[in-house]
Structure 1
Amino acid sequence: MSLRKYLSSRVFLGQMFLALLMVAIIGYFFMHWLTFTTDHGNEITVPNLSKLTEDQVEEKLDELDLDYVLLDSVDYRGDYPKYSVVLQDPLPGAKVKVGRKVYIKINSSGFSSVKVPDLIEKSYREAVPTLKALGLEEGSITYIPNLGKDVVLEMRYKGRNIKAGDRVLKSSKIDLVLGDGKASYEEGIINDNLETPIEELPNEQ
């Protein structure tokens, strides 16, 4: 029998059908075994742990057969209670297996203090990123007559002048006094002359 006739014979087609059937059966049982060993279909929805204390987190996750790991505390955030969850991984709503660990970060107890940077005679564009890098915020902006436009002349905190090296709490707003660039060169010279003490004339004998 030629190969062409054999491939078109009932014997070959029957063997091919049986082989495909065996592959399908093995694949079916393999998928069911895989589903069973990986607990597929028995997934748990991760709850929202935001603003919960560590004790509340433990109680809530125990009810769901989940565990947690406290990674670290983050810089104090005023919109969260002290020692409450600020970040979690996996996020709320994620599907996980029984016993999965949820990693959390909690809010610290309060703002830490930082030293005020030296912004005097720096430009406004330089000053703002410097403040943000230290965890400080830009407050109100005031302009006064000065030759330097948008140059920092004074720093203020809660209405009082502060200097470089003073300590304030993180997230504090630092008010900036800037030059308006409208003072003329002549005005600057006049002001300097006014500040120069006038020598006393000799008494007439």
Structure 2
Amino acid sequence: MSVQTIPGYTYGTAEAARSPVSMEEFADLQKATMFTEEDVRYLRMAGEVLADQVEDILDLWYSWVGSQPHLVYYFSGPDGKPDMNYLQAVRRRFGQWILDTCNRPYDQDWLNYQQEIGLRHHRTKKNQTDGVRSVPHIPMRYLIAFIYPITSTIRPFLAKKGHSPEDVEKMHQAWTKSVIMQVALWCYPYTREGDW
């Protein structure tokens, strides 16, 4: 599926929110996570490794979320049951997020889309992208807690293409740093003015 046909995927468009985080603040965040040009190189390598494994990764992640009633709850409809159309719509964007994490330049468009993702988890915009009637807000604690499963479970996929243990480790470290930065950015809508 091309990015143009992913419903609700507004990366690099005027529909995406404008990040209130300056490029200088973002540069400082990169320094705080020890994210360097070497990490960019290893993310590109990870992108090549993961490109044909996206569906398998999503199967694993969705299976795990689906087994956690307190998490799948945030995809439930008014009847309390998981909204399968909602889950499928988010899945397409989630798959593209994997590729974006590895392949996109971390520029203003990327920064803007992190704000958009944060807003879509927060009561500000949750449910609007897909026009669903679901739980109106995902607590920030779950964005932060999700860092672990999203980083720990990616490692076996990074190791599947025969790269050296050193390269796998560097890809995994780069992925982890990026996820931590992204979650920090997604938390912006959850904070009061001046607190982020």
Q: Name the TM-score, length of structure 1 as normaliser.
A: 0.18
Whose helix fraction is larger, Structure 1's or Structure 2's? 2
- The structure whose RCO (Cα within 8 Å, separation 6+) is larger is 2
Q: Name the TM-score, length of structure 2 as normaliser.
A: 0.19
Whose strand fraction is larger, Structure 1's or Structure 2's? 1
Larger Cα-atom Rg: 1
